[in-house]
Amino acid sequence: MIEGLVVRLGRTTILDGLDLQVAEGELVALLGSSGCGKTTLLRAIAGFAPVAAGRIAVGGQEIHHLSPERREAALVFQSYALWPHMTAARNIGFGLEVRRRPRAEIAARVAEMLRLLGLEGLGERNVTQLSGGQRQRVALGRALAIEPRLLLLDEPLSNLDARIRHELRHEIRAIQRRLGITALHVTHDREEAMVMADRIAVMEAGRIVQLDTPEGLWHRPASPFVAAFMGADNRVELAVEPSERALRVRPREGEPVLLPRGPDGPHLAGPPARRMVAHFRSAAARLLEPGTMPAATLLLSGTVEQTAYLGDLWRHTVRIEGRSLLVDHPQRVEPGAAVVVGVPASALHLFPAEDAGSSAGPDDEEERTMKRRSVLAAGAAILIGASSPASAETVLNVVTAGDQNMVDYVNDFLGPRFEKLHPGVRVRAAGTGPGDAGSQKIYEKLAAQAQAGVAAWDVDVAVVHQRMAGQMVKEGLLARYRDEVATGKLVSRDTAENALGQPVGGYVLPMFHSQIALAYNPALVPNPPRTYAELADWVKKNPKQFGYNGIKGGMSGVGFVMGWAAAMSGLGEKLEKGPYDPALKAELEKALAGLKEFNKFVTLTPGNAGTLDALNRGEIAMGPVWVDMFYTWQADGRLNPDLKLALLGPGLPGQPMYYVLPAKAANADLAKKFIEFATSPEVQAEGIVKRFNWYPGIDAQHVRAKLDEASWNKLFTDIAPEELASKGRPFPLTQYFSDILEAYERVVAN
C-alpha cells in the first residue's frame, strides 16, 4: 500500500501525493511517458529514493523508513546491471553471498533459479558470453534468488529485440504467477503492459491518473491523456446535440450523423457536452467505398497524404480538418485521393472539449507528435514522406542516426517551430538507430541513390556521427553548404573542420556536442583526482570505488580508455591529428599495460547506464559518464542530485553529431534554412541545452545570452566553458581508434 507518497529531488517534485494499492500476488504495470515518475516510484519502494512525505507498507508493515536491504524487495534494472567479470551462477547468487548465506544453500538456490529460467548448462559461462535474453534471465534470477516479497521490474525488456522481448514477457508473467510474488512492472510499451499485467496504472506528472484492468483502460479511458496513451490518439472535434437515446454529432467540416447511446454507442467520460473531442484508434477506422453511408458511424472527409505497409494492412495518413489522422485499410489508396473515413460509434471515446484543453485545436503540437510517432513506428528503417499534390505541401525529409530522442527532438521540437515559420512545409523525421551503425545506414542509402543515378535524392537533411560524415565527404555524397548559412560563422571548434582525421570543413555544422566526464559523489570523494595519473594512485587507495564498463556496453567506457591511452602514452595530439603511424602500436600497448594493472582495483560495470546505476546505488563513488545522460537521469529522479562532474587531465573525449546536406537533396535550399534555424542561438539554447542537456553545437558564448542564468549554470555548474574547451578532446583518428581497441583486447582483457 502506498499513501500520499511525495518524492522530491532538490526543488523538483517527482511524485506528488501518489496513492496505490496492490493485492498480494498481483502484477501491476506502471505505464506513462518519460519523466512521469515511474522509475522514481520503484526506487522509492526499493529504498533508493528519499521519501519526503507519505507511507509505503508491504503486508501491513511500513517499510519507507527501512534501509534497502531490509525491505525484502528486489529491483531488476533495464540495463541488467550484471557483473561482467562473474559467471551467470555467481551473478544469480550474488545477493545471497552479500547476505552471508551458507555455500550449500547458495548453490541449491542458484541451481533452482537456473532450472526455473531455462539456463541449465550456462551457469559457469561468463555473462558477457550470453545473449541479451539470457542476460535478462540472469538478472531476473538474481532478483528472485533472495526470495523477495516484492519484485520491481524497471523496463527489463526494453534492450531486447522484438522476438526475444515477446518471449520473455510471457515467461516472466508465468514465473510470477507460479511463485505468487507481488510485482510492479515499469514500461513504456502499452502492449507489454496489457499482456503481462493484472492491472495497469497510467501515470502523468507524478500521479496515477487511472488504475484499471487492461480491458477497462482499453474500453473506458477516463481522460483524453489515457485514451491517447492507450492508442486512441486520433482526435476530431464534434458539435453534439444529446438526447435520451442518441447523440447527434457533427464534425466541423461534415454532415451530422446520429449515434446511439448505450452499449453500441460511444464511450462517454461523463455527461455529454455541446462541444466534445472524439478519440479513436487507427484500427477502428475504415476508408469507405464511394456512396457508402453505414448507420451509427461517424463520417469524416479528407485527403490521403501518405501510406505505409504494415504486412497485413496499409496505414494511411489522412488530412482531415487540418489534422493528420491515421487509418488502417486492407488496400492501399494513392496519396492525393479524396476519401471518406468511417468510425463506428462503439469505437469512439468522447470527452468534453474543455477536458481536452487545447488538444482540440488544429494546431495541437501533442496531436502531431502522436501521429508522427505512429507513422514512424509503422515504417521500415527509413520512412520518407512524399508531398501530396492535393495538399500542395513541401515535405522536408530529415533522417537521423542516434537514439529515439534524436527523432523526438526533430518531430516534437524543431519540426513544429520550423513549420510555423514556413507555411506549406511539413517536416518528417525518421531514425536509423544508434551509433555508427545508424550513420552507416544513411551512408548506404545515399550511396545507393548516387550509384543508381537518381537526380533528386529523398533525404534533404541528415544527422550523422563523425566517422561516416568523413566517409561521405570523401566519396562526394555531401554538398558544401556551411558558408551559405548565417550560423556557419558561429562555430570554431576543431570538430567542425576535422572528423577523426578527415577534413570536413564547410560540409558539416554540429547539431550538438556530447562529452564524457567523471561523475563522483562528493560525500565520498571531496577532492576528486584531476589527472589520469592521480586517478591511478587513487584507485589503489580506494579499491572497487571507481567503476567503468571497459570497452563493452557503451562509449563512456571506450572514451575513458581512449583518454587513458592518450594520457599515458603522451601521444594525445598525434592520436587526434595524425598522420597515422602504425609504428605507434607498441607505444599504445605499453600505455594500456598500465590499464590492466589499474583494472585490478576497479569495478567493471555493464555499460553506460550500469555505471550511472552503480553510482546511484552507492556501489561505486566515481566513474566516467556521458554528461547529457547524467543530467537527464538527475532530472528524471533516477540519480542522486548531489553527484557532481569533473574532467580528467589532459582530457576526456567527446563527439558531435553533424547536420549534413546530401549532394543531390531534392529540397536543398529549404534544407539550408532548416539547418540555419536548428543551429541558431535561440534554438540551440531552448532545444539543445534546456530540453536535452547537450552542449551546444555552435560556440557556447553565442548561446549564453539566450539562456536564463539557471539553465546556463546547470550546464556549466561543474565544468566551466574554458575547462571544456581545454579538456574536452576529440576521439582519436579512425586508425588509432581501432588500434587502441585491439590493444585493449590483447593486453587488458586477457
Note the pLDDT of residue 603: 93
Rounded Cα–Cα distance for residues 201 and 20 (Å): 9
- What is the domain-level CATH number for residue 187? 3.40.50.300
Q: What is the DSSP-derived secondary structure letter of residue 455?
A: S
| Residue span of the structural domain in which 166 resides | 2-212
Q: What percent of the chain has pLDDT over 70?
A: 93
pLDDT digit string (tens) for 492-539? 888 899 888 889 999 999 999 889 999 999 999 999 999 999 999 999
- For the chain, the domain total comes to 3
Q: What is the 3-state secondary structure (H, E, C) of 156-196?
A: CCCCCCHHHHHHHHHHHHHHHHHHCCEEEEEECCHHHHHHH
Asked if residue 159 and residue 32 are part of one domain, the reply reads yes
Whether omega for the bond prior to residue 579 falls within 30 degrees of 0, making it cis, is yes
- Domain C-terminal end among 362, 388, 403: 362
- What is the domain-level CATH number for residue 580? 3.40.190.10
Asked if residue 566 and residue 610 are part of one domain, the reply reads yes
For the ranges 383-392, 464-473, 526-535, 686-695, the one whose mean pLDDT is highest: 526-535
Asked if residue 242 and residue 208 are part of one domain, the reply reads no
Rounded Cα–Cα distance for residues 424 and 606 (Å): 47
331: phi then psi, degrees, rounded to nearest 5: -115, 155
Residue 298 lies in a domain: yes
- What is the domain-level CATH number for residue 303? 2.40.50.140
Note the pLDDT of residue 175: 86
Asked if residue 253 and residue 152 are part of one domain, the reply reads no
Asked if residue 618 and residue 558 are part of one domain, the reply reads yes
**Confidence band of 570 (pLDDT split at 50, 70, 90):** very high
Note the pLDDT of residue 159: 62
Residues 59-81 have a mean pLDDT of 83
Asked if residue 251 and residue 201 are part of one domain, the reply reads no
Residues 577-591 have a mean pLDDT of 93
Rounded Cα–Cα distance for residues 358 and 33 (Å): 19
Asked if residue 253 and residue 208 are part of one domain, the reply reads no
- pTM for the predicted model, two decimal places: 0.54
- Domain C-terminal end among 310, 339, 362: 362
Helix (H/G/I), strand (E/B), else coil: 311: coil
Q: Which is higher by pLDDT, 127 or 250? A: 250
Residue 41 lies in a domain: yes
CA 351 to chain centre: 30
Residue 151 lies in a domain: yes
Residue 738 lies in a domain: yes
Residue 14 lies in a domain: yes
Note the pLDDT of residue 323: 82
Asked if residue 295 and residue 205 are part of one domain, the reply reads no
CA 306 to chain centre: 26
Among 601, 592, 654, 594, CA closest to 624: 654
For the ranges 59-63, 152-156, 278-282, the one whose mean pLDDT is highest: 278-282
Residue 455 lies in a domain: no
Residue 367 lies in a domain: no
Asked if residue 273 and residue 200 are part of one domain, the reply reads no
- 583's CB contacts (< 8 A; 6+ apart) are none
**Contact call for residues 681 and 615 (beta carbons, < 8 A):** no
pLDDT digit string (tens) for 57-67? 998 889 988 88
Asked if residue 206 and residue 254 are part of one domain, the reply reads no
Asked if residue 284 and residue 145 are part of one domain, the reply reads no
**Phi-psi bin for 86: left (phi > 0), alpha (psi -120 to 50), beta?**
beta
Asked if residue 235 and residue 174 are part of one domain, the reply reads no
pLDDT digit string (tens) for 317-362? 999 987 889 999 999 999 899 999 999 999 999 999 876 543 333 3
Q: What is the DSSP-derived secondary structure letter of residue 342?
A: E
Residue 223 lies in a domain: no
**Phi-psi bin for 60: left (phi > 0), alpha (psi -120 to 50), beta?**
left
